[in-house]
Chain A
Amino acid sequence: MDGGQTLKRGLFRALLVAATGLAVTVMAGLLLSQVAYAGLEKPLASLLRPEVFHALFLSCILATAAAVIALALAIPSAYLLARRAFPGRILVDTLLDLPVVLSPLAVGFSLLLFFRTAPGSFIETHLMRFVFEPAGIVLAQAILAYAVAVRVLKTAFEEVEPRYEQVARLMGCTPFMAFRKVTLPMARPGVVAAAVLGWGRAVGDFGATVMVGGAVAGKTETVPVAIYLRLASVDIAQAVGLMLVLTAAALAVLLLVRLTGRAP
């Protein structure tokens, strides 16, 4: 091998390492800057205050409810999109992708507008109140989580060969049993990833949450909303404490997805 080729290979390797190193430095820098600004003692101490604890608790409960609702709807629709050909499938598929691309603020605002229409008003008046209520936050977060979950699940179901279901059917399974006993267990890593990523999307949302739920302290104050409120009142220590919690949750979620992705 001549010197020129060796040099080119060395340059290429250096380029890869430099780009990755830069990205890692930026991410780590973001994390460290949170601690560097306010230290660790004050932010962590602020987490013990009742209103902060309430924001954490509310965030967990609402995001979990949103993720459960999103998954319950995403599993059948992802399976339908993965397995069945029907007229307008591409249109449906594209429409369901919309919340991934659309700003969460726009999703939240669209929800607010919906509740000003006749059907929306009827729901608000006679069935259940959503606007500026925790239920509204669950609805907004579920829409965002659903869009993420349906993408992950569709790929997971597509990766399970239909042949497995066919064999199960010939051994006595109904279509639902074949799905429950064969396809769903085989797509388990995808289902776990969809649940975790959906939960992560919901717990970290600010735009849709604040639009539908408002920023009512003690009522619709999730962690991102609480961070916003603390920053508005220049309570940096509490804002950093909440950001650390959110960052830790995000890291845990991403790590979990990677670990479950490797599971059979």
Chain B
Amino acid sequence: MIRVEALSARVGTFRLGPASLSVPAGSSFVLLGPTGAGKTLFLECLLGLHRPSGGRIVLDGVDVTDAPPEGRSVAYLPQDLALFPHLSVRDNILFGPSIRRWPRERWQGPFDALVERLQLAPLLARRDVRTLSGGERQRVALARALVLRPKVLFLDEPFSSLDALARRSLQLSILDLQREAGLTFFLVTHDHEEAFIMADAMAVMLRGRIEQEGPPEAFTANPASLMVARFLLVQNLFPAFFVRESEGLWFLEAGGVVVAAKPKPGLSPRPSMHIGIRPEALVVLRRDRPLAPWMTCNLLEGRVERILNLGNRRYARVSVGDRGSISLEVAVTQHLVQDLSLREGDAITLHVRPESVWVHWENGDSEGAS
């Protein structure tokens, strides 16, 4: 559906690309990256709002690289939604059909369906869109984008202004809508959680380049480069030294702690490396239960420094090693905290499977191991 080949663009001193990616029809694709990575510029190139300096953009089999925005037949939901304040809710939704001079029979069906699906009936008579709540504005903007029955909907961080509850609810309802209608979504976000909720496939953009593209699982299990790992595994990423290889495992030392990792076949170790462990991959072992047979290595003794309560989830920050030289962030449940009477200062044992330890070379080459 969307094919981007070696796209490049420039704004001031910032250079985008060359960036290539491919989005299959009917999928929900997420472009994830930190602020300033070039995501919005990339999106503006796809939408025809910024002229690329090189490369090719193909939408639904048609080369649209030089086509104006109105010639691309795509819909767009920007971060600020851009509802027209001089038009009523109804006129906002019907702006596209009225510009294209569609006869009533052409827009009435999709209009009615969207009004029902997005529960917009009570809002239609509202004359001033500025009086709508954040969630209502999102639904009106979505209906305005979808009433034209586009094949692709581009979304630029459209949930960022919503509170957590409204955001989750709208994310799920938009995903349902996307799957029902077989739409192709292209979502741009800096929010990791949002990316993983919304994505069938995703790409990470850093410093104007696509660093990794693939299914969401691949990003946490096997970041393609040290840069991607730094972006995705910010909590538990450490410089490490190769110690030895034994029975297919690499033993690496990070801050005095030796960790075993299972490398990818065909990779050779180097003296200076990095290891990364997702907080979810670390398990707090119960002292009153015997170890499972596979827990022969990576038993890390540590002390709870702090329990971070993020409202809907918790993390324990645990210092590991003789001198507490590295600090690991461990995902814990409220149930576990209560069950183990976990408190700051408690001594605990952690375990991580060798295959869940990500290893990468210091220089950030594309080869890695996990």
Say whether B86 contacts A161, CB under 8 Å. no
- Do A166 and B69 form a contact, CB below 8 Å, given A172-B100, A173-B99? yes
Say whether A163 contacts B78, CB under 8 Å. yes
A168 near B: Cβ within 8 Å? Answer: yes
- Do A186 and B86 form a contact, CB below 8 Å, given A163-B78, A173-B70? yes
Interface of A is mostly: helix
Residue among A170, A173, A186 making CB contact with B72, cutoff 8 Å: A170
B74 near A: Cβ within 8 Å? Answer: yes
Interchain nearest-CB distance for B236 vs A (Å): 38
B47 near A: Cβ within 8 Å? Answer: yes
Chain B residues lying within 8 Å of A182, measured Cβ to Cβ, are 84
What are the 3 tightest A-B residue pairs by CB atom distance, in nearest-first order? Answer: A171-B96, A169-B69, A167-B82
Chain B residues lying within 8 Å of A181, measured Cβ to Cβ, are 95, 99
Say whether B86 contacts A170, CB under 8 Å. no
Residue of A with least CB distance to B78 = A163
A218 near B: Cβ within 8 Å? Answer: no
- Do A161 and B80 form a contact, CB below 8 Å, given A166-B49, A181-B99? yes
Give bound CA distance, A188 to B82, whole Å. 17
A10 near B: Cβ within 8 Å? Answer: no
In the complex, 17 of the A-B residue pairs with CB atoms within 8 angstroms, ordered by the A residue number, are: A161-B80, A161-B82, A164-B84, A166-B69, A166-B76, A168-B84, A168-B95, A169-B49, A171-B100, A172-B70, A172-B99, A172-B100, A174-B70, A177-B99, A181-B99, A186-B84, A264-B86
Residue among A169, A172, A177, A188 making CB contact with B86, cutoff 8 Å: A188
Chain B residues lying within 8 Å of A161, measured Cβ to Cβ, are 80, 82
Say whether B69 contacts A170, CB under 8 Å. yes
Interface of B is mostly: loop
Residue of A with least CB distance to B127 = A264
Say whether A163 contacts B86, CB under 8 Å. no
Give bound CA distance, A164 to B69, whole Å. 13
Which residues on A are within 8 Å of B, measured CB to CB? 161, 163-164, 166-174, 177, 181-182, 185-186, 188, 264
Say whether A172 contacts B96, CB under 8 Å. yes
Say whether A167 contacts B99, CB under 8 Å. no
Q: What size tier do the contact residues of chain B reach? A: 20 to 34
B128 near A: Cβ within 8 Å? Answer: yes
Chain A residues lying within 8 Å of B76, measured Cβ to Cβ, are 166-167, 170
B85 near A: Cβ within 8 Å? Answer: yes
Interchain nearest-CB distance for B148 vs A (Å): 7
Residue among A163, A169, A186 making CB contact with B70, cutoff 8 Å: A169
Say whether B68 contacts A169, CB under 8 Å. yes
Chain B residues lying within 8 Å of A172, measured Cβ to Cβ, are 70, 96, 99-100, 148
Say whether A170 contacts B95, CB under 8 Å. no
Residue of B with least CB distance to A171 = B96
Chain A residues lying within 8 Å of B75, measured Cβ to Cβ, are 170-171
Interchain nearest-CB distance for B183 vs A (Å): 15
- Do A185 and B86 form a contact, CB below 8 Å, given A168-B95, A170-B75, A177-B99? yes
CB-defined interface of B278-298 with A at 8 Å, one 1/0 digit per residue?
A: 000000000000000000000
CB-defined interface of B77-96 with A at 8 Å, one 1/0 digit per residue?
A: 01010101110000000011
Interchain nearest-CB distance for B102 vs A (Å): 10
Chain A residues lying within 8 Å of B96, measured Cβ to Cβ, are 171-172
Interchain nearest-CB distance for A227 vs B (Å): 41
Chain B residues lying within 8 Å of A169, measured Cβ to Cβ, are 48-49, 68-70
Chain A residues lying within 8 Å of B70, measured Cβ to Cβ, are 169-174
CB-defined interface of B56-76 with A at 8 Å, one 1/0 digit per residue?
A: 000000000000111010111
Chain A residues lying within 8 Å of B84, measured Cβ to Cβ, are 164, 168, 182, 186
Say whether B78 contacts A264, CB under 8 Å. no
Give bound CA distance, A145 to B296, whole Å. 86
Give bound CA distance, A246 to B68, whole Å. 51
